[in-house]
């Protein structure tokens, strides 16, 4: 009963954060909840759901709200550790999967089933957060194909699980590198359009990333400005998306303000 209650609290906390329209409130208040989740994990260290909740909140906080490089490194390292532990707790046959060769990694993904989709998604999300903060580390960037494989496996295991975010992440993974360095912009465009359709265009962060990673890299000023102006004119208060939409509109304005210099 206690475990069920704490898992429900973590889920409710995540929902409340996603529906907050003042990012500064989240920035100032989230550290207390991070420590609370740490305490829950101390009490139930093998709880995959609790580990996953902590992993995702640490990842989001470290990437979005922390500007100090050393702090961001520590927070995303913890997020990734929790993500790895969550996957291990969900299915012990893949414990240590992150240390395997790429071929062994892909083979291990086949051992997972539908009940592991949530933990595998968290593993992928925290890996992306870690890579983003450590983008100057080529060793971290080399993990991108593993993350893509993990997210595609989530789609196979449970096509409905966080479908919008999975498509969004796959879009970014395909466009975060220019074509000359392995980016697949044709596939990325398909993922962006699918993510937007699945979210009914309510998740403005998808559109901002579409402009940032796809349109800017291809120097498509017309698409870039159209996407960002759509974001600025949209209603940010959407159930489950409000926090990221509020941040997306700030980022959209910054990208528009620097467009003349970029293009």
CATH of the domain at 36: 1.25.40.920
Same domain, 57 and 105: yes
List the beta strands (DSSP E) in 64-212: none
> Where in the sequence is the domain holding 73, given as residue range(s)?
1-146
pLDDT (tens, 9 = 90+) of the chain, 263 residues, equals 445 545 566 667 778 888 889 999 999 998 998 999 999 899 888 899 999 999 999 999 999 999 999 999 999 999 999 999 999 999 999 999 999 999 999 999 999 999 999 999 999 999 999 999 988 888 888 899 999 999 999 999 999 999 999 999 999 999 988 888 888 999 999 999 999 999 999 999 999 999 999 999 999 999 999 999 999 999 999 999 999 999 999 999 999 999 999 99
Report yes or no on 253 lying in a domain.
yes
Long-range contacts of 219-227 (CB under 8 A, 24+ apart): 219/263, 221/259, 221/263, 224/255, 224/259, 224/263, 225/256, 225/259
Select from 95, 122, 146 the last residue of a domain. 146
Q: Is 137 helix (H, G, I), strand (E, B) or coil?
A: coil
Same domain, 49 and 170: no
- Looking at the structure of the chain, the number of domains it has is 2
Compute the C-alpha angle 168/255/172, nearest 5°. Answer: 20
Same domain, 174 and 134: no
**Measured between alpha carbons, how far is 228 from 141 in angstroms, rounded to an integer?**
27
């Amino acid at each position: 009963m206690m475990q069920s209650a704490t898992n429900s609290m973590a889920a409710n906390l995540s929902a409340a954060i996603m529906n907050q329209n003042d990012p500064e409130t989240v920035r100032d208040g989230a550290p207390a909840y991070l420590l609370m989740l740490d305490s829950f994990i101390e009490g139930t260290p093998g709880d995959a759901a609790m580990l996953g909740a902590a992993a995702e909140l640490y990842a989001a906080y470290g990437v979005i709200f922390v500007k100090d490089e050393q702090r961001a490194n520590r927070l995303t390292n913890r997020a990734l550790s929790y993500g790895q532990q969550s996957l291990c707790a969900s299915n012990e046959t893949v414990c240590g999967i992150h240390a395997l060769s790429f071929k062994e990694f892909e083979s291990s993904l086949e051992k997972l089933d539908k009940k592991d989709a949530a933990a595998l998604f968290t593993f992928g999300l925290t890996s992306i957060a870690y890579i983003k903060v450590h983008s100057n580390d080529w060793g971290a960037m080399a993990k991108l194909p593993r993350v893509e494989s993990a997210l595609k496996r989530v789609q196979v295991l449970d096509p409905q699980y966080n479908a919008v975010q999975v498509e969004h992440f796959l879009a970014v993974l395909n466009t975060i590198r220019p074509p000359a360095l392995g980016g697949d912009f044709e596939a990325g465009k398909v993922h962006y359009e699918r993510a937007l359709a699945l979210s009914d265009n309510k998740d403005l962060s998808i559109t901002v990333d579409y402009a940032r990673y796809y349109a800017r890299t291809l120097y498509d000023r017309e698409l870039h400005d159209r996407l960002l102006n759509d974001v600025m004119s949209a209603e940010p208060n959407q159930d489950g998306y409000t926090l990221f939409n509020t941040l997306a509109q700030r980022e959209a304005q910054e990208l528009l303000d620097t467009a003349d210099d970029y293009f």
